[in-house]
Structure 1
């Protein structure tokens, strides 16, 4: 079975901009950890997009099957993304929730009729926004703490006189 393991920051998705060093290190740590675990499963062929500014992943067992799709620019990212998605039987995603990036990636995968290993895009959209999650829970009669935006928050001034 071919499994596309996608880590957003280290994938080359940011090829058109400077690669944030700390985020790349964090992404690399998460990616390496999951790849090491998955590489122990002999039935898996792993597919990984890799930003060409990063080093090869050399901490995998020698017997593992891991194909790296190197990415140098945005155009190549799009091509490699298409190739990996088409070849994969399943996809596992590690991506930031900021600006609904994870949800958008999930929608792309599911919209192609491909199998995504993880929560549904709708679940991710709800659970990654505290206000939206609170409203969803309350709409389904599930008790939750009062949640509001900063603009809704009222500060009562204290008269010190």
Structure 2
């Protein structure tokens, strides 16, 4: 089986120098991790595209087409997608990039990603809130910045479509709210209350029919405390007595959305005031940076769960350790239960 894996920011579709450095690091780390894992599976040949400006392609067991321009990448993307048995796309949701690139492989009948409808729904944080509210799934309240009166403080202003905590602001008062509102496009921004709690995520694998196959352990998210909530990686597993509540919430959200396929990341919050009632923050219909930690913690090759053939039937096995992961792919390991060093957590 020949499998095409494409990561937008490294692919040559865009000049690396024009991409947010944080997203480029995350994209590179996810691409290398997934491509390496897939290449280790029996009977799988993996190919990708790689911008020549990023240097030599580092994985000898994975074929990479070196490209120098967006025009070359567009042609190579379609050629590789057409020539492969299946394709998996990694891209940020901003500017509809994930949906657009998945549409190409979906039209070719090669996509291992979620359906286009599922990607469109989950990429739109406002529309997702309204959809899940109607389904009775607890999600952090979300409003459009456009025509919004003064919100309650603290609040969070962030893009309606986006990834990686880009353009995210914790707003403390009316003056700060007016200042932020004046610097952004209100049509493209949302407002959520700032809820004090533990940010975390749960990864999940779905089959190609949209059936939830397995949930991965909760992972802590490490966010900056500078008022921007910048993503700095995380650690897994998150040691919490609320795992069952988190899993129930993810299962409920998954059941309310048709077309989730492959790997999906669910961002969650365990409120300090009501830890037994977690909230869904957003859903990422693609590979997420948490995969870096999960693959280091797992005894099994997680990439096997992504393939369209019959998924593994045995339960996943995990090592008795705690893995800290960074967006650049850096991994640190400690025995389970070890206290975090200062600065490692949120």
What TM bracket, shorter-length normalisation? 0.7 to 0.9
| Aligned 8 A contact 2:3 2:86 in 1 | yes
Query: Pairwise mapping of residues 121-160 of structure 1 onto structure 2 (< 5 A)?
Result: 121-142=116-137, 144-155=139-150
Matched residues in 2 for 1:116 and 1:130: separation?
23
Q: Secondary structure at the match of 1:48?
A: strand
Matched residues in 2 for 1:33 and 1:156: separation?
41
| Greater strand share, structure number | 2
Name which structure has the greater RCO, CA cutoff 8 Å, separation 6+: 1
Q: Which residue of 2 aligns with 1:25?
A: 25
| Greater helix share, structure number | 1
Q: Normalising by the residue count of structure 1, what TM-score does the alignment of the two structures yield? A: 0.82
Superposed CA deviations along residues 85-144 of structure 1, whole A, max 9, x for unmatched, are: 1111111111010011101111121122x2211211111111122111012223445454
| Aligned 8 A contact 1:92 1:116 in 2 | yes
Matched residues in 2 for 1:74 and 1:56: separation?
18
Identify which of 74, 82, 86 aligns with 2:70: 74
| Aligned 8 A contact 1:131 1:149 in 2 | yes
Q: Secondary structure at the match of 1:91?
A: strand
Q: Which residue of 1 aligns with 2:104?
A: 108
Q: Normalising by the residue count of structure 2, what TM-score does the alignment of the two structures yield? A: 0.40
| Aligned 8 A contact 1:3 1:45 in 2 | yes
Count of residues in Structure 1 that have an aligned counterpart in Structure 2: 151
Q: CA RMSD in A?
A: 2.3
| Aligned 8 A contact 2:50 2:57 in 1 | no
Q: Which residue of 2 aligns with 1:57?
A: 57
Matched residues in 1 for 2:82 and 2:45: separation?
14
Residue 2 (str. 1) matches residue 5 (str. 2): no
Aligned CA distance change for structure 1 residues 86 and 140 (closer, same or farther; 3 Å) = same
Aligned CA distance change for structure 1 residues 145 and 96 (closer, same or farther; 3 Å) = closer
Give structure 2 stretches of 5+ with no counterpart.
Answer: 153-346
Matched residues in 2 for 1:145 and 1:139: separation?
13
Superposed CA deviations along residues 54-113 of structure 1, whole A, max 9, x for unmatched, are: 12232x3x5x3x21111112221122112111111111111010011101111121122x
Shift of 1:31: 0.8
Q: Which residue of 2 aligns with 1:40?
A: 40
| Aligned 8 A contact 1:71 1:77 in 2 | yes
Aligned CA distance change for structure 1 residues 144 and 24 (closer, same or farther; 3 Å) = closer
Matched residues in 2 for 1:143 and 1:24: separation?
32
Q: Secondary structure at the match of 1:53?
A: helix
